[in-house]
A and B are shown apart, each in its own frame.
Chain A
Amino acid sequence: MSDILLKIENLKKSFGKLEVLKGLTTDIRKGEVVVMIGPSGGGKSTFLRCMNLLEQPTEGSIVFEGIDIVKADETTKNHVRSEMGMVFQHFNLFPHLTILDNITLAPRLVRGIAKPEAEKEAMELLTRVGLADKAKAYPQQLSGGQKQRVAIVRSLAMHPQVMLFDEPTSALDPEMVGEVLDVMKDLAKNGMTMVVVTHEMRFARDVATRVLFLEGGRIAVEGTPAEIFDAKHEGRLGEFLGKVTGVGFREKVRDELRDILADNVVTPEEIDCIREMLKESRK
């Protein structure tokens, strides 16, 4: 049991009267890559933000390093956060600092590491993600993908025990998604414990060791990527996967088109039918 990093039990979170998390229980083990998927409003991001206490849970417990951090005092919470990296959808780099200062700020202030040492390590990390030449630049001068790679490095510089990713590629232009996912894959390969909220199903299938499907504030389904993605699912999960991967829809279109083209004549009604399908595909 000693390899459990976060032991989460019956976690609940309400915003006013709205209950967003309705009692989640799960363990995050060392070296795991847990990917959370699910419809928006299902509580994925809130759950992630509760793990490092950016949101204060209303009820339940999270045991980290042997203590329940939900009830911890402010100093302990600061310590806990310094042990967990977090990567945000909108990067949240500090625009008034250079890339190098962005990365070394926390190690110097929180860990008390001397400037030359902190900078040396920051440069090594930047080299790892191919951005060593940007050390003296400011965030505004970087592309979205570069910003997110810097944000990952900024978290890594604190040597966290676990990295939390909150939709890290959702704000990126499509052509930049790959470079960020590559860095994350690399981290996973090197044994980093990761909890990832994402809509990148291919990433979930390839990298995750466990997938959680969150729906309505609960963990509705939990399983290995194979169990989630390769099996046929009824109900909400099947519906959700059908939507995001386009599986059900694609099959429907294929069958319809086959019927339409079967007699080598395309009638006006059939053209309308194709139009309808195009409209639906844009939703």
Chain B
Amino acid sequence: MFQSLIDDFQLCFVKADRWRYLLKGLGVTLEVAIAAILLGLIIGFVVAIVRSSHDKYGKFGFLNAIAKVYLTIIRGTPMVVQLLICYFIILKSLDKVFVAILAFGINSGAYQAEIMRAGIMSIDPGQMEAGRALGLSYWRTMLKVILPQAIRNVLPALGNEFIVLMKDTSIVGYIALIDLAKGGDIIRSQTYSVYTPYLTVAAIYLVLVMTMTWLLGILERHLRNTGANPVHNDS
């Protein structure tokens, strides 16, 4: 029994250096996930500011319309389909990793935008007024007063979106990009062993998510210690 486990392990990972599939795959997964999170953050910020500025202060009518179309399309179609369209129709000849980063970044941007918009909308209007009354411009007040508070309030939700995004990258196999999940799949197809590769891949994802949760927890505690707890209206 025990011996057969060791044999299976040998077959799947040691023989023919198959562990390289997992290591390389892990690299691709991390590369796509981290870059897409950052791209999504940038898109999310811009779209959230446009949307909430429009809803709260009636600014950016045209940009707001574009943002709404973007949100509707991205949130209304499956991620896999978006990835396929990106790779086979829009960005045919480009590097697969690059295409994956774009597809996931654009997708996650929509969800991050809505999370951050909720955060911005939750800030008391008196904060914007106080900033403007001191002579700060709209954008300065947004960046220095509103956003720091908004992000602190939505960090748990934002962290959740990061985790979902990282696990969602496991569908890049659809465009024949070898990530962690696909790496495990290749090992299965070469060895006809099912349990060991898939369970190992699952365990690695689990460790990644736990690490991310831990890091986000540290960040959250750090933000809570600098400054007070979530905002009260009469601050």
Interface residues of chain A, those whose CB is within 8 Å of chain B, are: 52, 54, 74, 78-79, 81-86, 88, 90-97, 105-106, 109-110, 138-141, 144, 147, 154-155, 158, 171
In the complex, the chain A residue whose C-beta lies closest to that of B126 is A92
Task: Tell me, in angstroms, the Cα distance from A86 to B129 when the chains sit together.
Answer: 10
Task: Tell me, in angstroms, the Cα distance from A86 to B133 when the chains sit together.
Answer: 6
Tally A-B pairs: CB < 8 A: 91
Q: Are B235 and A93 in contact (CB under 8 A)?
A: yes
In the complex, the chain A residue whose C-beta lies closest to that of B130 is A92
List of 3 A-B pairs having minimum Cβ-Cβ separation, nearest first: A82-B135, A140-B228, A92-B130
Q: Is B82 on the interface with A (CB-CB < 8 A)? A: no
In the complex, the chain A residue whose C-beta lies closest to that of B129 is A54
Note all chain B residues with C-beta closer than 8 A to A90: 124, 126, 233-234
Given contacts A88-B126, A92-B127, 13 further A-B contacts (CB under 8 A): A52-B133, A78-B137, A81-B132, A83-B135, A88-B133, A95-B227, A95-B235, A106-B135, A110-B135, A138-B227, A141-B228, A154-B134, A158-B134
Minimum CB–CB distance from B61 to chain A (whole Å) comes to 17
Note all chain A residues with C-beta closer than 8 A to B131: 94
Question: How many B residues touch A, CB cutoff 8 Å?
Answer: 28
Note all chain B residues with C-beta closer than 8 A to A105: 134, 136, 144-145
Task: Tell me, in angstroms, the Cα distance from A83 to B134 when the chains sit together.
Answer: 8
Cβ contacts A to B, 5 pairs, < 8 Å: A82-B134, A86-B133, A88-B133, A109-B140, A155-B134
Note all chain A residues with C-beta closer than 8 A to B228: 95-96, 138-141
Partner of B227, one of A83, A86, A96, A155: A96
Task: Tell me, in angstroms, the Cα distance from A91 to B127 when the chains sit together.
Answer: 9
Task: Tell me, in angstroms, the Cα distance from A141 to B227 when the chains sit together.
Answer: 10
Note all chain A residues with C-beta closer than 8 A to B222: none
Q: Is B191 on the interface with A (CB-CB < 8 A)? A: no
Task: Tell me, in angstroms, the Cα distance from A263 to B11 when the chains sit together.
Answer: 112
Note all chain B residues with C-beta closer than 8 A to A144: 234
Note all chain A residues with C-beta closer than 8 A to B127: 92, 94
Q: Are B133 and A54 in contact (CB under 8 A)?
A: yes
Task: Tell me, in angstroms, the Cα distance from A109 to B235 when the chains sit together.
Answer: 21
Task: Tell me, in angstroms, the Cα distance from A180 to B227 when the chains sit together.
Answer: 24
In the complex, the chain B residue whose C-beta lies closest to that of A79 is B135
In the complex, the chain B residue whose C-beta lies closest to that of A142 is B235
Partner of B129, one of A88, A95, A109, A158: A88
Note all chain A residues with C-beta closer than 8 A to B132: 54, 78, 81
For chain B, residues 134 to 155, give those with C-beta under 8 angstroms from any C-beta of chain A: 134-138, 140, 144-145, 148-149, 152
Task: Tell me, in angstroms, the Cα distance from A93 to B235 when the chains sit together.
Answer: 5
Most A CB contacts (10 A, CB to CB) among B130, B132, B228, B233 go to B130
Partner of B136, one of A84, A109, A138, A171: A109
Q: Is B229 on the interface with A (CB-CB < 8 A)? A: yes
Task: Tell me, in angstroms, the Cα distance from A158 to B132 when the chains sit together.
Answer: 13
Minimum CB–CB distance from B56 to chain A (whole Å) comes to 14
Partner of B144, one of A74, A86, A109: A109
